[in-house]
Structure 1
Amino acid sequence: MTTLRGLLDARCAAVPDAVAVEPAGRPGEGTTWTALRERARAVAAALVRDGVAPGERVVLVARNDTSYFPILFGAGLAAAVLTPLNWRLAGDEIAAMIDDSGATMVLVDEPAAAALAGVLADRPGVRHVVVLGTASGDVRSFDDWVGPAEDPQRPVAPDDVAFQLYTSGTTGRPKGAMFAGTNLAVLVDDIARAWGFRDGDVSLVAMPLFHMGGLAWALAGMARGARAVVVRDIVPTDVLDAIEAHGVTTAFCVPTMLAALCAVPGIDSRPLGLRQMIYSGSPIGEDALKRAMVALRCDFVQIYGLTEATGAFAQLSAEEHREGGPALTSAGRPYPWTELRVVDPESGAEVAPGVVGEIWTRSAQNMVGYWQRPEETAAALTPEGWLRTGDLGRLDEAGRIHLVDRAKDRIVTGGENVYPAEVERVLAQHPDVAEVAVIGVPDDRWGEAVKAVVVLQAGSTPDTAGIIAFARGRLAGFQSPKSVDVVEALPRTATGKVIKPTLREPYWRGHERRIH
Structure 2
Amino acid sequence: MSGKSNPLADAPPLELQTLIEAAMKLVGTDPQFAITEAEIRGNKYRVFANAPRHLRTIFADSAKFGDQDFLIFKGERLSFAETWSRVCRFAHALENELGVKKGDYVALAMRNYPEWCIAYMAIISLGAVVVPLNAWWKADELEYGLRDSGAKIVIADARRLEYLKPLHEKMGLTLILAREEGEGADFRYEDLLAGSSNTEEPQVDIDPEDDFSLVYTSGSTGQPKGVVLTHRGAVSTLWSWWFVVNTLTLARDGISPMGENPGILLAVPLFHVTGSHSIFMMSMIIGRRLAMIYRWDAKDAARIIREESLTNFVGVPSQSYELTQSVDPGEVPTLMDIGSGGAKRPPDHVKKLKEKFHNANPSSGYGLSETNAIGCVISQNFYQERPDSTGRPVPPVTDIKIVKDGKDVARGEVGEIWIRSPANFRGYHNLPEETAKALTPDGWFRTGDLGRMDEQDFVYIVDRIKDMIIRGGENVSCLEVENRAYEHDGVAEAAVFSVPDDKLGERVGLVVYPKDGAQLHPAELRAFINEELADFKTPERIWISPSPLPRLGTAKFDKITVRKIALEHPPALAI
Matching residue of 1:201 = 262
| In 2, Cα distance between equivalents of 1:61 and 1:371 | 19
Tell me which residue corresponds to 1:55: 103
C-alpha distance after superposition, 1:22-63 (max 9, x if no partner): 11x43xx32112211221122212221212231111101111
Counterpart of 1:48, as a letter, is: E
One-letter amino acid of the structure 2 residue matched with residue 16 of structure 1: G
Contact 2:58 2:284 in 1 (8 A): no
Partner of 2:290: 228
Structure 2 residue aligned with 1:276, among 333, 337, 341? 337
SS at match of 1:122: helix
Letter aligned with residue 301 of structure 1: S
2:68 is the alignment partner of 1:18: yes
SS at 1:67's partner residue?
A: helix
Report if the CA contact (8 A) 1:52-1:104 is conserved: no
Amino acid in the other structure paired with 2:59: L
Partner SS for 1:132:
coil
- Residue 261 (str. 1) matches residue 318 (str. 2): no
What is the rounded CA distance, in whole Å, between the counterparts of 1:504 and 1:392 in structure 2? 28
Deviation of the 1:179 alpha carbon:
1.6
1:161 Cα deviation from its structure 2 partner: 1.2
> Structure 1 residues 261, 95: CA separation in 2 closer, same or farther (over 3 Å shift)?
same
Matches of 1:21 and 1:506 in 2, distance apart?
Answer: 48
1:79 is matched with 127
Whether contact under 8 Å (1:334, 1:340) holds in the other structure is: yes
Q: Is the 8 A contact 2:390 2:458 kept in 1?
A: yes
Matched, 1:513 2:542: no
Match of 1:180 among 210, 225, 230: 230
Moved more, 138-147 or 83-92: 138-147
3-state DSSP class of the match of 2:91?
helix
Matched-pair identity in %: 28
Structure 2 SS opposite 1:40: helix
- 1:387 corresponds in structure 2 to 445
Residue 368 of structure 2 is aligned to residue 306 of structure 1: yes
* C-alpha contact 2:259 2:311 (8 A) present in aligned 1: no
Give distance in 1, aligned partners of 2:153 and 2:498. Answer: 44
Q: Which residues of 2 match residues 420-431 of structure 1 at below 5 A?
A: none
**2:414 paired with 1:353:** no
**Deviations 1:129-163, CA, capped at 9 Å, x for gaps:** 43433243453221123341324422211111122
**2: CA distance between counterparts of 1:65 and 1:134?**
14
Per the alignment, in what secondary structure is the counterpart of residue 329 of structure 1? coil
Q: Whose RCO is larger (CA < 8 A, sep 6+)?
A: 2
Indicate the residue corresponding to 1:116 in structure 2.
164
Select 2:399's aligned residue among 327, 336, 339: 339
Can you give the 5+ residue segments of structure 2 that lack an aligned partner in the other structure? 1-51, 246-256, 471-475, 479-494, 504-525, 530-534, 560-575
User: Following TM superposition, by how much is the alpha carbon of 1:267 offset from its aligned partner in structure 2, in angstroms?
Assistant: 2.7
2:240: which partner in 1?
190
Aligned to 1:65: 113
Aligned equivalents of 2:55, 2:267: Cα separation in 1: 21
Aligned equivalent of 2:25: none
Deviation at 1:88, TM superposition (A): 0.7
Asked if the contact 2:53–2:208 (Cα under 8 Å) also holds between the matched residues in 1, the reply is yes
- How many Å separate the matches in 2 of 1:290 and 1:171? 37
Matched-pair contact (CA < 8 Å) for 2:263–2:290: yes
Q: Distance in 2 between matches of 1:57 and 1:505?
A: 42
Q: Are the aligned partners of 1:331 and 1:402 in contact in 2 as well (CA < 8 Å)?
A: yes
Match of 2:363, SS state, is: strand
Secondary structure in 1 matching 2:59 = helix
For the pair 1:213 / 2:274, whether they are aligned, the reply is yes
Counterpart contact for 1:56–1:81, Cα < 8 Å: yes
Q: Map 1:287-326 onto structure 2 (within 5 A).
A: 287-297=348-358, 298-322=360-384, 324=385
Cα separation, 2, equivalents of 1:201 and 1:208? 20
Q: Is the 8 A contact 2:273 2:369 kept in 1?
A: yes
Instruction: Tell me the CA shift for residue 200 of structure 1.
Output: 3.1
Question: Residues 34 and 211 of structure 1: is their aligned pair in 2 closer, same or farther, counting only changes over 3 Å?
Answer: same
List per-residue Cα deviations over 1:270-322 (Å, max 9, x = no partner).
13410111112223332232112222331111111211111131112212134
Structure 2: distance between partners of 1:198 and 1:269: 17
Deviation at residue 329 of structure 1 after TM alignment: 1.4
Deviation at 1:367, TM superposition (A): 1.2
**SS state at 2:66 partner:** coil
Contact 2:129 2:212 in 1 (8 A): yes
Kept in 1: contact 2:274–2:373 (CA 8 A): yes
1:500 Cα deviation after fit: 11
2: distance between equivalents of 1:222 and 1:506?
A: 51
TM-score (norm 2): 0.69
| Aligned residues of 1:131 and 1:139 also touching (Cα < 8 A) | no
Instruction: Tell me the residue number matched to 1:425.
Output: none
Cα distance in 2 for partners of 1:227, 1:64 equals 15
Which range is displaced more, 87-96 or 310-319?
A: 310-319
Question: What is the deviation of 1:498?
Answer: 8.5
- Name the CA shift for 1:98/1:228 in 2 (closer, same or farther; >3 Å): same
SS for the counterpart of 2:452 is strand
Residues 235 and 93 of structure 1: CA distance in aligned 2, closer, same or farther (over 3 Å): same
Deviation, 1:359, is: 0.8
Instruction: Provide the rounded CA distance (Å) in 2 between the counterparts of 1:154 and 1:509.
Output: 57
Give the Cα–Cα distance (whole angstroms) in 2 for the partners of residues 55 and 515 of structure 1.
45
Aligned residue for 1:474? none
